[in-house]
Amino acid sequence: MSNTKQFDALVVGAGVGGLYALFRLREKLGLNVQVLEAGDGVGGTWYWNRYPGCRCDVESLEYSFSFDPELEQEWSWPERYGNQPEILQYVNHVADRFDLRRNIQFETRVNNATFDRKTNLWTLKTEAGETFQAPVCIMATGNLSIPRVPDFPGLDDFQGDTYHTGLWPHEGVDFTGKRVAVIGTGSSGVQSIPIIAEQGETLTVFQRTANYILPAANGPMNREIEAKHKAEYRERRAAAYDTPFGIAGFPPPTQSALDVTPEERTAKYEQKWAEGGSISFLYSYTDLLLSDEANATAREFVHNKIRSIVKDQNVAETLCPNDHPMGTKRLVLDTGYYETYNKQHVHLVNARKNPIAGLTQKGIRLEDGTEYEFDAIVFATGFDAMTGALKEIDVRTTDGRSLTKDWEAGPYTMLGLMSAGFPNMFMITGPGSPGVKSQMILSCEQHVDWIVDCLDYMRREGQAAIEPTDESQHDWTMHVKDVADATLYPKAASWYMGANIPGKPRVFMPYVGGVQRYKAKCEEIAANGYEGFTFTAAKKPELALAGDD
């Protein structure tokens, strides 16, 4: 007897995308859904990333689900930006409120996914050897879910404690009295460094690339702002879809940075710096991400801020980013980051000039032979972004396609939602969509709504399977590239480009044409009977999707 468990739809991942997919597939289509989640709780990114200082860089009133007006009215965020424990609490609340846990199997890591063209079924195999089958497979596997530690020689020799920010121990870590190293100065490093510095006896930061870091200006929630926001929630959610980053409330810029006087520019940047937040700053002028000359004005402003905050001018110069236009790597929001370098026990190592050669039993050795001794090393070294999670699952079809092989030169997708050759496998915020360049929850909701409408259409039309054509996928992938090439984004060696992973193809992966354009395109395609996709008709009485309808 087969031990294979049968469902109408399988969802991999119980982060915000997976949870919303479960809710909609179950409640709107009446499908029998099984979610498979590697962790022992919901939350995805917010479940795994528990490092000190972990916080969202999108304001909490925006960074939340929009699908249930009661939910958004009843939840109250304590601060302007939600921190990890609060966001995880919120996601758990959503899971309980909508009774989602009964369709989630935790501690279940999917290793293998195969589509059979004869039966139109996906078979998912888990690390523990279980097998699940369904006509539909939704990969809600996240964009930043495969933590990466660089392949340093001697990695296993180090006798102290090591941590990765993306796999932080649930019980927390106390660095009191310890000599601590942090490698990496992206969002995770910048958020954790000020807190680790409060505990550690010494803290040494190894910085390879200096980033552009803006003040978050976090603080307790202003209850008047919250009340106003809640009163306007419906309009604000709709307005967010009409913006490039899926975040409402920022008037779009109207002027070039080069059309105003230097004094006007500085006044504008000062105002944005004081306000806090990255979208607000990028919205200073129309061309900050399009013209290097315009961008240089913002860079100079931030450099001067760093020089004014950091007392040691050698340290300040090392902290001034100089190898990429501002905003082309993810802008980081901080609380007290630059000030941390004014503390006597905090040291900065320029790992660009003098790279890390490897780990030793006692610490870290640089290429010039300098050695440091530590009790603990924190790897804030990022993720195999956007494609890593799908590569970890061996995705194949019985007629010989392999997703890893098809994506050898970079991801090929239609809208970041599907990949040709892999019918009925949907991605939530996959490469080629605005996902990581947008308010993620909004983009997850938009993707799930599109997928659910598509499955509903298929059921009504008696279709068993859908996949994009090679031609439409090629056109979309080229469009994603052309749109990025018209901006400054490809000038940075970022994880958007796969540049942080040795050997990964350098392809700019997110769609940066804006959420508003992207959503319109998705809707146009659906309205035209899923133009650019092909269907396989169901062989009656086998109908692709069961459920109550």
At 383, list the tokens: 């993720």
Q: Which of residues 127-166 bind ligand N01 (CB under 6 A)?
A: 144, 150, 165
Which CB atom, from 182 or from 525, has the smaller least distance to ligand N01? Answer: 182
Q: Is 325 in the site for ligand N01 (CB under 6 A)?
A: no
Q: Does 380 bind ligand N01 (CB under 6 A)?
A: yes
In three state form, how does the secondary structure of 8-19 look?
CEEEECCCHHHH
Specify the residue, 295 or 500, whose C-beta has the smaller distance to ligand N01: 500
Question: What phi and psi values does residue 138 have, to the nearest 5 degrees?
Answer: -115, 120
Q: Where are the beta strands (DSSP E) in 209-294?
A: 213-215
Question: How many residues form the binding site for ligand N01 (CB under 6 A)?
Answer: 27
Nearest residue (CB) to ligand N01, 186 versus 434: 186
Q: How far is CA 434 from CA 128, 442, 537, in A?
A: 34, 11, 31
The distance of closest approach from Cβ of residue 150 to ligand N01 in the complex, given in angstroms and rounded to an integer, is 4
- Region from 95-103, 180-188, 251-259, 391-399 binding ligand N01, contact rule CB under 6 A: 180-188
* Separation CA 300–CA 263 (nearest Å): 13
Q: State the pairing for strand pair 463-468/332-334.
A: unpaired
Amino acid 499 reads A
Choice between 149 and 543, CB closer to ligand N01: 149
- Residue 372 binding ligand N01, by CB under 6 A: no
Identified binder of ligand N01 from the candidate list 34, 60, 120, 187, rule CB under 6 A: 187
Residue 351 interacting with ligand N01 (CB under 6 A): yes
Q: Record the tokens describing residue 476, joined without a space.
A: 């979309």
* Residue 208 or 479 with smaller CB distance to ligand N01: 208
- Beta-bridged to residue 132, according to DSSP, are 5, 124
**SS3 call for 62:** coil
CB of 286 to ligand N01, least distance (A): 24
**Looking at 258-266, 313-321, 381-389, 540-548, which segment touches ligand N01 (CB under 6 A)?**
381-389
Structure tokens at 384: 């195999």
Residue nearest to ligand N01 (CB): 186
Exactly one of 10, 31, 56, 91 binds ligand N01 (CB under 6 A); that residue is 56
Distance CA 230, CA 232 (A): 5
Show Cβ contacts of residue 103 under 8 Å, excluding neighbours closer than 6 positions: 22, 26, 33, 34, 35
Task: Report, in Å, the least distance between residue 304 CB and ligand N01.
Answer: 22
Q: How far is the CB of 402 from ligand N01 (least distance, A)?
A: 27
Q: Is 464 in the site for ligand N01 (CB under 6 A)?
A: no
> Across-strand partners of 10?
34, 137
Handedness of CA 210, 215, 219, 223 (dihedral sign): negative
What are the residues binding ligand N01 (CB under 6 A)?
Answer: 55-57, 144, 150, 165, 183-189, 191, 206, 208-209, 330, 333, 351, 356, 380-383, 495, 500
